[in-house]
Amino acid sequence: MGAAYSSCSSLSLAFPTVTLYSSPITTSSQSYPRSKPKPFSSTIDKIRNTRFLEPVKIMAQTPFPCSGLAVKCGKVEEVENQEEGTTRKPMVDYHGIDQVLLDEMVYDALVWSSLHGLLVGDKSVERSGKVPGVGLVHAPSALLPMPFPENQWRQAVDLTPIFSELVDRVSLDGKFLQESLSRTKKADAFTSRLLDLHSKMLEINKKEDIRLGLHRSDYMLDEQTKLLLQIELNTISCSFPGLSSLVTELHRSLLNHYGEVLGLDPKRIPGNNAYGYFVEAFAKAWTEYNNPRALVMFVVQAEERNMYDQHWLSAVLKERYNITAIRKTMAEIDAEAELLSDGTLLVGGKAIAVIYFRAGYKPDDYPSESEWRARLLMEQSSAIKCPSISYHLAGTKKIQQELAKPDVLERFLDNKEDIAKLRKCFAGLWSLDDPNIVKEAIERPELFVMKPQREGGGNNIYGADVRETLLRLQKEGTDGSAAYILMQRIFPTVFQTFLLRNGICHKDNAVSELGIYGAYLRNKDKVIMNDQCGYLLRTKTSSSDEGGVAAGFAVLDSIYLT
């Protein structure tokens, strides 16, 4: 799912200004020393062969002014700057780029996106989420990559296999999951249904010998402490492996054409082969299942405007490994599925080897009992679930908060160095059972975020609403508080950017959230795959609390290592 910027803030802080330019930007009256254009190469071939690049050094620091504009069809319009009056300075002088050059880059970016499948469904077209090829629009994206410190980038990459192992260990401890979420179960009907499903699997002693996880750990870089802090760990429907890979290639292509005048090197954008790794994980899991006639099944929503991100995976899976993937809603699975006595799941008469959930993570995905019957049938089957119900629960907000408690990580991990690395990235996480923390959050709500057991953007509570919600819960005196956790609010670095949405380029100050994908595959005691597998960067205006690309708050972005 597209997770929210659950702990970001744009309170007034003083930020150091870093420039990525090696020479001043020219004015509109000057000609541009354009490097020789390089032809667009095959995107799919380039992404397949990408690898992470060598380290780069932090460049010179120079302050620049900041202003605001929007570009429509080649025209530049002044718009109100949302940051006007603050003392913050931007990290990079993207806003100093000449308007003529900016218009050229915007045009080229929109053409590139159309030619290379960087697309989503257009919400203004009714059938765009149901019928492929109808109502296409470029995916919301940043025009240029975001500067990001290499040390923190490497830290996030190194944490990935540790978090994947942690999820697997936690998922095996059914007692821990049930007890940790017991109070949440009373307050949150959706979590209660998931726990009931998990309990049924425990009762029948359902074993998942082959375990596949495609996770994403999301981080923000805290400006004051310079620490990389985890926002959340996603274990179900980690979206955008296809489109995030394409955004990386878009930015590399633009810098191949315009990098000389901008003073930016395309080689400093780290490779992002996210969908290649996802497909490799599917293929390896399919091989372990050991039924050459079986299919991979994507569980999808009835209306999915982000279908092209998913189609990238199924298309490459077929092209590279000759494995067929089908797409089914949970209602369709309930109508078409059959469970054989040996545990084989048949859908439309075809055996299913791997089930990849891109739905099922929110209450709206279960509008009737039909969807719950389908989920139960899939959990009972021998098909490899990505994720299983235990992996799903291991990624809930409450479990994240429990793992942050003293001595809890030691229950699941033995390596002290790995434990120390995880704790270093933990932000403050608290239960609403702690009266001192609740009191502090009421007095200073701007320092906290209230997070419910929900995935995707638009669910968190900020600012004065934190105080009001806490006071209401105290007055009600029920178990309602168990449906939430409190999290430290992170104050990330603000930088200049251009946001492309619906063919319009907006100039603004922004913050970003970095998500690192991880693939984990185990068959009994043999770990077959535990790798970092690309990244997702989401950028949004610094004046907005919420995030999430699919939710309409953020855009896709890539990293420029500094």
Catalytic residue numbers read 216, 232, 234, 239, 397, 451, 455-456, 538
Do 506 and 479 fall into the same domain?
Answer: no
| Averaged pLDDT for residues 84-103 | 70
Average pLDDT over all residues of the chain: 84
The reply, when asked if residue 234 is annotated as ligand binding, is yes
pLDDT band at 17 (very low <50, low <70, confident <90, very high): very low
Tell whether 22 is covered by a domain: no
Do 327 and 368 fall into the same domain?
Answer: yes
Q: Assess whether pLDDT exceeds 90 at residue 320.
A: yes
Share of the chain above pLDDT 70, in %: 81
Do 385 and 484 fall into the same domain?
Answer: no
The reply, when asked if residue 452 is annotated as ligand binding, is yes
Do 277 and 323 fall into the same domain?
Answer: yes
Do 360 and 485 fall into the same domain?
Answer: no
Q: How far apart are CA 212 and CA 206, in angstroms?
A: 16
The reply, when asked if residue 457 is annotated as ligand binding, is yes
- Where a domain ends, among 451, 469, 489? 489
Q: How far apart are CA 235 and CA 227, in angstroms?
A: 23
The reply, when asked if residue 203 is annotated as ligand binding, is no
Instruction: For residue range 451-496, list pLDDT tens digits in order.
Output: 887 765 568 898 899 999 999 988 887 777 888 889 999 999 899 9
- Where a domain ends, among 465, 489, 513? 489
Tell whether 182 is covered by a domain: yes
Tell whether 238 is covered by a domain: yes
The reply, when asked if residue 391 is annotated as ligand binding, is no
The reply, when asked if residue 546 is annotated as ligand binding, is yes
pTM higher than 0.75: yes
Tell whether 7 is covered by a domain: no
Instruction: For residue range 493-521, list pLDDT tens digits in order.
Output: 899 999 999 999 999 999 999 999 999 99
CATH number of the domain that residue 449 is part of: 3.30.1490.50
Q: State whether the Cα torsion 455-456-457-458 is positive or negative.
A: negative
Do 414 and 436 fall into the same domain?
Answer: no
Do 136 and 253 fall into the same domain?
Answer: yes
Judge contact between 552 and 138, C-beta under 8 A: no
The reply, when asked if residue 459 is annotated as ligand binding, is yes
**Total domains, the chain:** 2
Do 110 and 255 fall into the same domain?
Answer: yes
Range of the domain at 342: 94-427+490-561
Cβ contacts of 116 within 8 Å, gap of 6 or more: 40, 43, 246, 249, 250
Instruction: For residue range 416-438, list pLDDT tens digits in order.
Output: 999 999 999 999 999 898 889 99
How many other CB atoms are there within 10 angstroms of residue 553's CB atom?
A: 20
Do 447 and 494 fall into the same domain?
Answer: no
The reply, when asked if residue 276 is annotated as ligand binding, is no
The reply, when asked if residue 358 is annotated as ligand binding, is yes
Tell whether 45 is covered by a domain: no
Do 328 and 437 fall into the same domain?
Answer: no
The reply, when asked if residue 487 is annotated as ligand binding, is yes
Q: Pairing state of beta strands 484-488 and 429-431? A: antiparallel
Tell whether 138 is covered by a domain: yes
495 DSSP β-pair partners: 510
The reply, when asked if residue 361 is annotated as ligand binding, is yes
Distances (CA, A) of 337 to 236, 295, 400: 22, 13, 34
Do 411 and 433 fall into the same domain?
Answer: no
| Averaged pLDDT for residues 300-329 | 97
SS (H, E, C) 308-362: HHHHHHHHHHHHHHCCCEEEECHHHHHHHEEECCCCCEEECCEEEEEEEECCCCC
Do 485 and 378 fall into the same domain?
Answer: no
The tokens describing 397, both together, are 């907000």
Q: Assess whether pLDDT exceeds 80 at residue 82.
A: no
Q: Assess whether pLDDT exceeds 90 at residue 401.
A: yes
Tell whether 291 is covered by a domain: yes
- Where a domain ends, among 471, 489, 507? 489
Tell whether 169 is covered by a domain: yes
Q: How far apart are CA 177 and CA 391, in angstroms?
A: 10
